[in-house]
Structure 1
Amino acid sequence: MAETGLHCIPAPSPLARGFQRAPVCGTGRGPGAVHLSTFYPVVSSPNHNGITVNRSVNPVHRTFFLAAHSCMHAASKGHHSLPPASRRASPAASCSSKIHSIRSSPLGTQSGFNRFDPLSSTTLTAAKPGQFSKLRGRFRTKAVSTETDEGVDEKSEQGDELPIEVVDGAEAVLKGDGLPKRWVIVGLCFTAFLLCNMDRVNMSIAILPMSQDYGWDSQTVGVVQSSFFWGYLLTQVAGGVWADRIGGKKVLGFGVVWWSVATVLTPFAAKLGLPALLAARACMGVGEGVAMPAMNNLLARWVPKTERSRALALVYSGMYLGSVTGLGISPSFIHQFGWPSVFYSFGSLGAVWAVVWSRNAYSTPFDDPNISQSEKDYISQNVVKSSKVQKIPWRLLLSKPPVWAIISCHFCHNWGTFILLTWMPTYYHDVLGFNLTESGIYSVLPWLTMAVCSNTGGWIADTLVSRGYSITFVRKAMQSIGFLGPALCLSQLSSIHDPKLAVLCMMLSQGSDAFSQSGLYSNHQDIGPRYSGVLLGMSNTAGVLAGVLGTAATGYILQNGSWDEVFTVAVGLYLVGTVIWNVFATGEKIFD
């Protein structure tokens, strides 16, 4: 049964003198729905209040639209003149019967009323009397008087507003006040990742006064810095399995609370001794390790594919902005209140987030009692509705070349990314001659560039998908930029001697790298939305290993060679990743 309701696109400006594009109207989605899409002459220019179809020369179009319009308007007002049966039925259902008589007539069929394009439409929906939504657009009705097929004369008053629902390129802006619920989930995930990197990078600043207070040498500092990755590696796959089995809400909520508590306890652990501090940092890694797989699980169930790249790019940009925020405000906090303050203040923010998350988040839109039915229907038509995973088909997952393409390319990608983000201040100081303050300031710029380019790439990717380009093409194009851009920029660094140009080159490298959020990082949900959490856990394990090995290898190379050799290895892996990705990756779903 097709969904009922009157769907229309408001008539735009006249296309030519004496002509106006007709509103695209329909009474539902799917087979048998009513559709009106044509150009027709009008007697005069459109009224400033909007719809002028009552002036249409085409009597069929005029009869169709006015009957439907007046019926929906009366129904939305609870009009007493509607027959009792119509008043008892839903407004859309009662009006559907009126439109059906026009649609099924020979003249109506010849006019193409039995077609409807579910994309790019505006829906006139009935509401309770006096209840109107606040949206980007509304129909403002014109005073019309027409006789319906039941002989009831309906009159709409000048300036009355009807609530609408806009679907633009398969993206619904749904009726009801405020932001669509799926974007509330995306926003909360963005905030979680903002806190994630704030809590992670504060140690890179606090380690300087901590090492002075406790008399740590460089080797001990390195052990403290790396202890985070012990726990982080441990829960990548486990976090994905938990999210796919019990739901992303519980797993992400656990992760944020766990790492926030570990952050707050860090100063106390440091006073107890080095083993306690290493345990606290590893526990923090355990919490942050489940965050990415859990987020991926959530977005696979909440966000349609035409919005997926933007949603993921926004969430990942939270990590970049978290690094900017943490690096930017930690020095002033330490200077004013001492190094423990960054752990107390940053960690306490997780408690605030957890309260908001527990009250507003759900693992799927079908678990959410507050989401509108129209948004739930839209999501269900554009994402995979699946039950929680009881058993992970490991052999099946590991037998598919696209899965290995994700895993290997995640390794290639993170090798270069972790090297740049970990060793960038050292490169600025030793090679470009910046002092420590300047190195810190210039280290922020690539993070800002990544935040901007990540969202830009997401918008481009979703636009291409909505315009009919295959997901496979879009994912390969975005990731090719994410690989070849950094490869090109890093290959030029050895020949650049101007410090400002070198910083610009580094910004371009990381900016193009951020396009990977719309390529590699979106692909888990494409090929296996039901197992997206565990797929990301598997690939991110390879990515973390690349970061650990790449960081250590860079130190070894610099002791025995030069920065040119460091960049050559990274460029080589970027090129290998490009080949693997374009040969084996796909945007098609390969797992049910």
Structure 2
Amino acid sequence: MRAPAGGEAEPEDEAGADRTPLLGESQRATVPACCSARYNLALLAFFGFFVLYALRVNLSVALVDMVETNTSLAKNTTSKVCPEHPSALNIPRNTTGKKYSWDADTQGWILGSFFYGYIITQIPGGYLASKVGGKLLLGFGILIPAVFTLFTPLAADLGVGYLIAVRVLEGLGEGVTFPAMHAMWSSWAPPLERSKLLSISYAGAQLGTVVSLPLSGIICYYVNWIYVFYIFGALGVLWFLFWIWLVSDTPETHRRISPTEREYILSSLKDQNGLLSALPYFGCWVFIIVTGQIADCLREKLNFSTVCVRKTFTLIGMIGPAVFLVAAGFIGCDYTLAVAFLTISTSLGGCCTSGFGINHLDIAPSYAGILLGITNSFATIPGMVGPVIAKSLTHHNTVGEWQTVFYIAASINLFGAIFFALFGSGEVQDWALNGRHLHRN
């Protein structure tokens, strides 16, 4: 790729060679979403992640009913302890569920064991998806936890070690689900519909948590805690049957997709490899996890101040992406280098989570939710106006035009980094002090 020299218009054939390799040259008419194979996939994924998170969080509710009440503590309660709130309907609580004498430490190990398995298969999940396909990996990533959930009551009866092992195995299964789903969308999601399709599919996770927590409590109260695992486990198995029957790894192998939709998806992806497009976001996710551990280690083990850690990671997470974003405009037609630079740029952006991203909790713990809502509202503005501005600046899709877009984005990053470095704080602000948070970081 060559930038136009002297601001002169280029001949049509030269301008054609000056196109960015990351965007297609024309926009095709979209295929209706209603009853389409790609939106059916999003809907099935929605229910899959709904079940997935229900399987993940149901134990946290059921465990309360599985553990014996500490009667000695109950006898020694004082007037300062609130009495149990009576049921408004005065319906007797079910007491047929078996109880176990697990202390607080044991309960902690039981609840945390899931994540020991979950963290192991996160990164291998993306590799496995490329080998066995996202359909099977995601399908079994939900079926395995569902089956082990069905065996949870038996494992609890056999002993706490068996229950912990079951939860670890559930985590191993669930760990591959998000990488597998991303791998599937790399073949299914047209670039201009990715946000909609991914938001539909992943929204099931949040709804699964919202629904399963109170529903698990109702089941424990009126029926028996074992049915929490039987019901949600059975739902997972049922979902798996629909998933295997209705879903295909790619549009080419789908039995019921219309020829028009197949052509639309394939033509929209032919100049932009979906898996490569997902690489930057995968890198960002890795950096978020890793830098979170490093940031807390710097504060706890090496006694770095909170403000020093926040400013350091903010500078890395904003200046680093700016540098590689600008550099991406000067690499010619090297596709590999373009993907590498954009991946590094987006990945480094993940450092900001351990920088300004959690600074709300440092400066105003009592108002962190409100502050996040305010800042996140402002953060959506670039997503709204960015595409409009980029489109208005790239009428001819030349390298020179895209360099201007990259300069603007890098300048915004640089301004934000400098502003935070000058005015950022790591201490609780005076206006945010109340009875709950009278400490300094």
The two structures share one fold, judged by TM-score above 0.5: yes
Q: 1:354 aligns with which of 216, 240, 245?
A: 240
**In the TM superposition, what whole-angstrom CA distance separates every residue of 1:222-281 from its partner, at most 9, and x where no partner exists?**
111121122212322333222111211111111111110011110111011111111111
Q: 1:489 aligns with which of 340, 356, 360?
A: 360
- State yes or no: 1:193 paired with 2:49: yes
Q: 2:227 aligns with which of 341, 355, 361?
A: 341
What secondary structure is seen at the aligned counterpart in 1 of 2:151?
helix
Shift of the 219–514 alpha-carbon distance from structure 1 to 2, 3 Å rule, reads: farther
Alignment of 1:497-576 (within 5 A): 504-505=370-371
Q: Identify the residue that residue 322 of structure 1 maps to in structure 2.
A: 208
CA contact (8 A) 1:485 1:512 kept: no
**In the TM superposition, what whole-angstrom CA distance separates every residue of 1:43-101 from its partner, at most 9, and x where no partner exists?**
xxxxxxxxxxxxxxxxxxxxxxxxxxxxxxxxxxxxxxxxxxxxxxxxxxxxxxxxxxx
Shift of the 377–326 alpha-carbon distance from structure 1 to 2, 3 Å rule, reads: same
Shift of the 512–323 alpha-carbon distance from structure 1 to 2, 3 Å rule, reads: farther
Q: Identify the residue that residue 22 of structure 2 maps to in structure 1.
A: none
The amino acid of 1:254's aligned partner reads F
Alignment of 1:165-564 (within 5 A): 167=29, 172-174=30-32, 178-212=34-68, 213-383=99-269, 406-412=285-291, 486-494=357-365, 496=366, 504-505=370-371
Q: Identify the residue that residue 430 of structure 1 maps to in structure 2.
A: none
Alpha-carbon distance, 1:204 to partner: 1.0
Q: Among the aligned pairs, what percent are the same residue?
A: 30
CA distance in 2, matches of 1:510, 1:413: 20
**Larger helix share, 1 or 2:** 2
CA distance in 2, matches of 1:225, 1:512: 36
CA contact (8 A) 1:482 1:514 kept: no
Shift of the 230–479 alpha-carbon distance from structure 1 to 2, 3 Å rule, reads: closer
**Larger strand share, 1 or 2:** 1
Shift of the 274–505 alpha-carbon distance from structure 1 to 2, 3 Å rule, reads: same
CA distance in 2, matches of 1:357, 1:225: 29
CA distance in 2, matches of 1:309, 1:401: 15
Q: Identify the residue that residue 10 of structure 2 maps to in structure 1.
A: none
Alpha-carbon distance, 1:348 to partner: 0.7
Q: Identify the residue that residue 15 of structure 2 maps to in structure 1.
A: none
CA distance in 1, matches of 2:64, 2:379: 30
CA contact (8 A) 2:31 2:260 kept: no
CA distance in 1, matches of 2:108, 2:281: 36
CA contact (8 A) 1:490 1:509 kept: no
The amino acid of 1:182's aligned partner reads R
Alpha-carbon distance, 1:332 to partner: 0.9
Q: Identify the residue that residue 393 of structure 1 maps to in structure 2.
A: none
CA distance in 2, matches of 1:478, 1:293: 20
Q: Higher relative contact order at CA 8 Å, sep ≥6: structure 1 or structure 2?
A: 2
CA distance in 2, matches of 1:243, 1:345: 29
**In the TM superposition, what whole-angstrom CA distance separates every residue of 1:429-479 from its partner, at most 9, and x where no partner exists?**
xxxxxxxxxxxxxxxxxxxxxxxxxxxxxxxxxxxxxxxxx9969979997
Alpha-carbon distance, 1:383 to partner: 2.1
CA contact (8 A) 1:482 1:512 kept: no
CA distance in 1, matches of 2:149, 2:42: 24
Alpha-carbon distance, 1:487 to partner: 2.9
Shift of the 205–294 alpha-carbon distance from structure 1 to 2, 3 Å rule, reads: same
CA RMSD of aligned residues (A): 4.2
The amino acid of 1:409's aligned partner reads I
CA distance in 1, matches of 2:286, 2:235: 33
CA distance in 1, matches of 2:280, 2:137: 29
CA distance in 1, matches of 2:257, 2:264: 11
Shift of the 359–208 alpha-carbon distance from structure 1 to 2, 3 Å rule, reads: same
CA contact (8 A) 1:489 1:508 kept: no
CA distance in 1, matches of 2:114, 2:262: 39
What secondary structure is seen at the aligned counterpart in 1 of 2:67?
helix
Q: Identify the residue that residue 438 of structure 1 maps to in structure 2.
A: none
CA distance in 1, matches of 2:60, 2:132: 34
CA distance in 1, matches of 2:368, 2:280: 38
CA distance in 2, matches of 1:354, 1:173: 28
* TM-score, normalization by structure 2: 0.56
Alpha-carbon distance, 1:384 to partner: 5.0
**In the TM superposition, what whole-angstrom CA distance separates every residue of 1:541-578 from its partner, at most 9, and x where no partner exists?**
xxxxxxxxxxxxxxxxxxxxx9788x96xxxxxxxxxx
CA distance in 2, matches of 1:343, 1:509: 39
Shift of the 335–510 alpha-carbon distance from structure 1 to 2, 3 Å rule, reads: farther
What secondary structure is seen at the aligned counterpart in 2 of 1:173?
coil
The amino acid of 2:136's aligned partner reads K
Name the larger-Rg structure: 1
What secondary structure is seen at the aligned counterpart in 2 of 1:281?
helix
Q: Identify the residue that residue 524 of structure 1 maps to in structure 2.
A: none
Alpha-carbon distance, 1:345 to partner: 0.7
What secondary structure is seen at the aligned counterpart in 1 of 2:256?
coil
Alpha-carbon distance, 1:325 to partner: 1.1
CA distance in 2, matches of 1:326, 1:512: 32
* TM-score, normalization by structure 1: 0.42
Alpha-carbon distance, 1:372 to partner: 1.1
Mark the runs of 5 or more structure 2 residues left unpaired by the alignment.
Answer: 1-24, 69-98, 296-337, 385-435
Shift of the 338–503 alpha-carbon distance from structure 1 to 2, 3 Å rule, reads: farther
Shift of the 200–414 alpha-carbon distance from structure 1 to 2, 3 Å rule, reads: farther
Shift of the 503–407 alpha-carbon distance from structure 1 to 2, 3 Å rule, reads: closer
Alpha-carbon distance, 1:318 to partner: 1.5
Shift of the 342–563 alpha-carbon distance from structure 1 to 2, 3 Å rule, reads: farther
CA contact (8 A) 1:486 1:508 kept: no
Shift of the 383–284 alpha-carbon distance from structure 1 to 2, 3 Å rule, reads: same
CA distance in 2, matches of 1:317, 1:477: 26
